[in-house]
Amino acid sequence: MDLILKELQKHILETHRKRKSKGLCCSILHHGPGHQSKTFCSRKGKHTVHSCVYGSYENFMEWNGKEAFTGYFDKPKEPA
């Protein structure tokens, strides 16, 4: 189990390193049934309000902080 967690952490760190090297944001929106899906913020450069289009219905959500979660039935929450 520890090996799986270490590999997952390694993968996450590598993904973030690659995004940062391209000037992309690493803030994540968790969505979908059980919040199993994730979409990174689509904004570049320095910013405090993150945003992305996500899901099969192409919903739009803005949030503050490194992570956010959609509401029930994958609906975007009210802007913070």
Q: What residue type is 14 in one-letter code?
A: E
Backbone angles phi, psi at 31, to 5 degrees: -150, 180
pLDDT bracket for residue 1 (50, 70, 90): low
Q: Tell me the average pLDDT across 34-57.
A: 92
- Cα gap 74→33, rounded to integer Å: 7
pLDDT in tens, 53-75: 998 889 999 999 999 998 877 77
Q: Which two tokens stand for residue 62?
A: 């803005």
Q: Are strands 37-40 and 28-31 parallel, antiparallel or unpaired?
A: antiparallel
pLDDT in tens, 26-39: 999 999 887 889 99
Q: What are the residue ranges of helices labelled H in 1-80?
A: 2-21
**What pTM value is reported for the model?**
0.82
